[in-house]
Structure formats: C-alpha cells, structure tokens
C-alpha cells in the first residue's frame, strides 16, 4: 500500500511522415515500503517494443519515403544504392524493407534502391534495349544474335 515512488521512462521518437509517436522502449520502476519489515522493495519492469520490421534490436533509422517513416532495425534498414560502397545510381535515401527494391549485382549480391531510382534504372535499361533496335549502327555486329 505504501508506495514510495514510481518512475516511468519512455524512449520515443516522432514519425515526421505520419506524426505518430513510436514507443521504442519503456522502463517502469516501483519502490514501496514493506511495513512489517521496515524495508523497501523495488520492482523494475523493462518493456521492449519490436520495431516496424518485427525485429528486436537497435533501431537503424527511419524510412524517408513519404507517408512511411517506419523504424527498422540496423539489419533491415537500408539506403538507396547500398549503405556501404554506395552505387552511383542510388540517391542514398534511407529505406525500410517495404520500400527497398533490390537489384542483383554481378557478384551475386543485391543492392537496394528506392522506387524512383529503381524505376530510373529499369527505364534506362529498357531505353538501351530500344536504342539497340532503333540504332543498330551504334552496336557492334558481334553483339547481335
């Protein structure tokens, strides 16, 4: 009955895209007097929230696609063109799993791109294929089947 103190700590982050608040972690501390023994009992409750990707883990960042802003963990969060050794085709935008479009690389990996850059790359590839048909003189004879 004789509660001495309650402490609530919340780690929150506002989503600039949706203006909703993400609860990242909360800590609750209770201290109460145990009358008969004249002592103090403390309880400490730590509540972990999973991130938008469903993982527990340190947050990697927010998606910067309009209307999204999801927080993914460090493993699921990515950047357009890759986080390290960034591809010159990418704009570097931070992306969640839902907004990353992966393109295969020659060495068997994949590079994530945002929707816009992915579309641009696909269009340029299509454009190259069209140009090859329309302007055969630009392509060496050996390239033809």
Name the residues that contact Zn ion, by CB under 5 A: 53, 55, 63, 65, 68, 70, 73, 76, 80, 91, 93, 96, 98-99, 114, 117
CB 71 within 8 A of CB 97: no
> Least distance in Å: CB of 18 to Zn ion?
11
> Across-strand partners of 7?
29
Residues facing 62 on adjacent strands: 71
Shortest reach from residue 67's CB to Zn ion, in Å? 8
Looking at the Cβ atoms of 63 and 111, the one nearer to Zn ion is 63
Task: Name the minimum Å distance from CB 10 to Zn ion.
Answer: 21
Cα 22 to Cα 117: distance, rounded to the nearest angstrom? 28
Q: How many residues does this entry show for the chain?
A: 145
């Amino acid at each position: 009955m004789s509660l001495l103190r309650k402490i609530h700590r919340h780690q929150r982050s506002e989503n600039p895209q949706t203006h909703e608040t993400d609860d990242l972690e909360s800590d609750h501390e209770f201290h109460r007097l145990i009358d008969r023994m004249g002592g103090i009992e403390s309880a400490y409750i730590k509540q972990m929230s999973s991130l938008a990707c469903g993982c527990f883990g340190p947050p990697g960042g927010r998606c910067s696609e309009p209307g999204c802003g999801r927080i993914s963990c460090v493993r699921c969060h990515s950047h357009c063109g890759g986080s390290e050794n960034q591809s010159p085709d990418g704009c570097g935008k931070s992306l969640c799993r839902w907004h990353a479009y992966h393109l295969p690389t020659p060495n068997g990996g994949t590079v994530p791109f945002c929707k816009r850059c992915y579309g641009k790359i696909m269009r340029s590839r299509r454009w190259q294929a069209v140009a090859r048909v329309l302007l055969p003189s630009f392509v060496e004879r050996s390239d033809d089947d």
